[in-house]
Structure 1
Amino acid sequence: MYTPAIIFKDDKLKIIDQTLLPARLVYLEIPDIATCIEAIKTLKVRGAPAIGICAAYGLFIAARSLSDKTYNEFVHYMDTDAALLFGSRPTAVNLGWAIERIRLIYQTRADLPVSQIINLIRAESIHIHEEDIQACTDMGYHGLKIVSNPCNILTHCNTGSLATGGWGTALGVIYAAQKEGYDIHVYVDETRPVGQGARLTFWELMQNDIPCTLITDSMAGSLMKAKKIDLILFGADRIAANGDVANKIGSYSLAALASFHKIPCYAVAPFSTFDLSLLSGDLIEIELRKSQEILHIYGYNDNLSEFADVYNPAFDVTPAELLSGIITEQGIISQPIAKHILSFIE
């Protein structure tokens, strides 16, 4: 049903270069940690779960090149690579979550030969990938509980197979609905300035024969007012302990409009996206990206970026009270979200 964004086969890692979509579908091999970091920074691979999976495999590739090192040397080089990888994108919590799972292996197994530690890192990387595939399936079917039939769904950014290890988070709910025979139609937000909705989600849905309509971000409110939207679904890059959700810029606006128009609005994310160390979304670091991402849309040259005043946050934070709930692989966290998050974890 879906095109995998990440393929790990014969100990080689390949990703879809998402900067080339929709014009070209190209798999890019990741031969070393530097290429992995560059792919994450430049959005060749993107989406919180996919970034975490890619990071885990990237650390395995790094580890494999250190097989001739002593244990102390191995840990030193791995920690250096992990720190560089961690800094590649600050908002998506899955990146740090996956790195810490790999670090826990090599930092606590001084009793083993380096070759065996490398094998354990490989196994953990595959396990992280397989966990996400299952989580995507589970989120999709849990999400069916809030999908009417028929249903017009509005989605933002890209939350499908290009952003995860499986069929997706928010798009996974849509794929599950399609598989179960629901009569669904999807409005796809363009998602400026990089256009993940227009370039990636619209492409994914058309590849899977799901009825969809592409709109610019500023059209969403008019569709809600016209009662053409039954449900809003988007993903998450980091969720605070109180249920505040950091997601692609524009998500907050959709949630606020949905609240005004009394349209159900859900974030869809696995528990690996939750960061319970942060009490609220106010503490989430928001990545600021280069001005060229906006200026290039309108034909400005690179010289202007040196002195032009451009504000380009990659994410915003939706307060939990604006959401109807959060769909996870363990079920739906309903309002009051902060209280119910704790009950899910306990």
Structure 2
Amino acid sequence: MADQYAQSGEDIQLSEDKQPRTDDVQAIRWEEPAEGPVLVLLDQTRLPAEEVELVCTDPQALVQAIRSLAVRGAPLLGITGAYGVALAAARGFDVRQAADALAGARPTAVNLAYGVRRAEEAYRSALGAGAGTGGEAVRERAAAAALAAARALHQEDAAASARMAEHGMRLLDELLPGGNHRILTHCNTGALVSGGEGTAFAVARAAHRAGRLRRLWVDETRPLLQGARLTAYEAARSGMAYTLLTDNAAGSLFAAGEVDAVLIGADRIAADGSVANKVGSYPLAVLARYHHVPFIVVAPVTTVDLATPDGVSIEVEQRAGHEVTELTAPQAPLAGVEAGGGIPVAPLGTQAYNPAFDVTPPELVTAIVTEWGALAPVTGEGLSELCSRSRQVTMS
């Protein structure tokens, strides 16, 4: 890494000696140069063309990085939110204001608010413990407490990722004995969304390492192509056998009998087991049910939101219409188009329907895999028991 850090929200090219290893993607890290603490993100809008790091020195730059999808994915957003509170505290910003802005940056992703509030609570508790003494020392201790909470969440997510991979592999072997799995996945659920190796992608990677993955089918995931740009990127780095397909080709793939299981992640799981995930997930669940193919959701328990009673109650983020009406060029300029601009693919003034997520009802979900095991069938009672058990173990 260069000695001098970019200013807030700017990006820097990874130096040759800092290029990630073939099987190692580091999506986020905290660093403390002489100029003050920074949060360093691998800018996912620039992948796969180039690996560029975005260095955030203030909460607003981090909010923008979240909204622009430079950093994304439910577990990683929780980690990012927690580090964002720590950054605000360490840099002397208004922590409550920063926390509120971060928590609301992407409303569907429950992990984001969870990470923010966890670090904020640690900060407030430390301030309360030093009440009456005042001074800079108390604020420093409170900032350190927020950072410790963020680091703890980061480590917990990495451990959860490994356990989800184990539980997911066990479930696959039960449902599909003999291995040689052909798995279809949607969006991106690997190391780019996690403190570890991911959620659904971590299961596929475990199958690959065990020699039991025949093919990973990768939905391109329109309109922002997270599958084509990011999952294919991670699959290639891992040496996996993978094939990219357009989202609307999935039906013909099922009809041809080429899919053994669907594995996806989740951005929020309601109390009844309804699953919000990247738009396009629900049609896959319908296809899987019709073709008698297991549809498996892999997510940590922090993605389960018992305060949201059902799928209808999940707030679904609506994104800008230009993501649908234009082809964007985030990595490099195209002919006559500046980087970040777009090539119109629809008549000027066309309205676009662009939800970031859709919701799959629990009756279409074969199982939900968490770090505490697999839940099948998916019921509200089962989810509540699973979350209660995880809290008991965490507190003991």
Q: Given the two structures, how large is their TM-score scaled by the length of structure 1?
A: 0.93
Cα deviation 1:297-316 (Å, max 9, x = unaligned): 28318993xx4211100000
1:114 pairs with one of 139, 144, 147: 139
Contact 1:245 1:319 in 2 (8 A): yes
Determine the structure 2 residue equivalent to 1:170: 200
Shift of 1:344: 1.4
Determine the structure 1 residue equivalent to 2:315: 285
Cα deviation 1:235-264 (Å, max 9, x = unaligned): 000000010000000000000110010000
Residues 1:274 and 2:304 aligned together = yes
Cα pair distance change 1:117/1:338, threshold 3 Å = same
Shift of 1:184: 2.9
Contact 1:325 1:337 in 2 (8 A): no
Contact 1:292 1:302 in 2 (8 A): no
Residues 1:331 and 2:373 aligned together = yes
Shift of 1:115: 1.3
Cα distance in 2 for residues equivalent to 1:303 and 1:111: 60
Residues 1:52 and 2:70 aligned together = no
Cα deviation 1:159-181 (Å, max 9, x = unaligned): 00111111000001011112223
Matched AA of 1:256:
V
Cα deviation 1:83-102 (Å, max 9, x = unaligned): 11122111000011011101
Structure with greater contact order relative to length (CA < 8 Å, sep ≥ 6): 1
Q: Which one has the bigger helix percentage?
A: 1
Determine the structure 1 residue equivalent to 2:109: 92
Determine the structure 2 residue equivalent to 1:317: 359
SS at match of 1:326: strand
Largest Rg, 1 or 2: 2
1:82 pairs with one of 99, 103, 123: 99
SS at match of 1:213: strand
Residue ranges of structure 2 left out of the alignment (5+ in a row) = 1-22, 131-137, 328-341, 389-396
Matched AA of 2:206:
A
Cα pair distance change 1:152/1:253, threshold 3 Å = same
Residues 1:143 and 2:168 aligned together = yes
Cα pair distance change 1:214/1:301, threshold 3 Å = closer
2:119 pairs with one of 99, 102, 105: 102
Residue ranges of structure 1 left out of the alignment (5+ in a row) = 67-73
Matched AA of 2:308:
L
Contact 2:219 2:227 in 1 (8 A): yes
Determine the structure 1 residue equivalent to 2:8: none
Cα deviation 1:259-288 (Å, max 9, x = unaligned): 010000101100110100011011000000
Q: How many pairs align?
A: 335
Contact 2:47 2:230 in 1 (8 A): yes
Q: What is the RMSD computed on CA atoms of the aligned residues?
A: 1.6
Cα distance in 2 for residues equivalent to 1:313 and 1:59: 28
The percent of aligned pairs where both chains have the same amino acid is 41
Determine the structure 2 residue equivalent to 1:182: 212
Determine the structure 2 residue equivalent to 1:25: 51
Cα distance in 2 for residues equivalent to 1:344 and 1:173: 20
Cα distance in 2 for residues equivalent to 1:60 and 1:49: 17
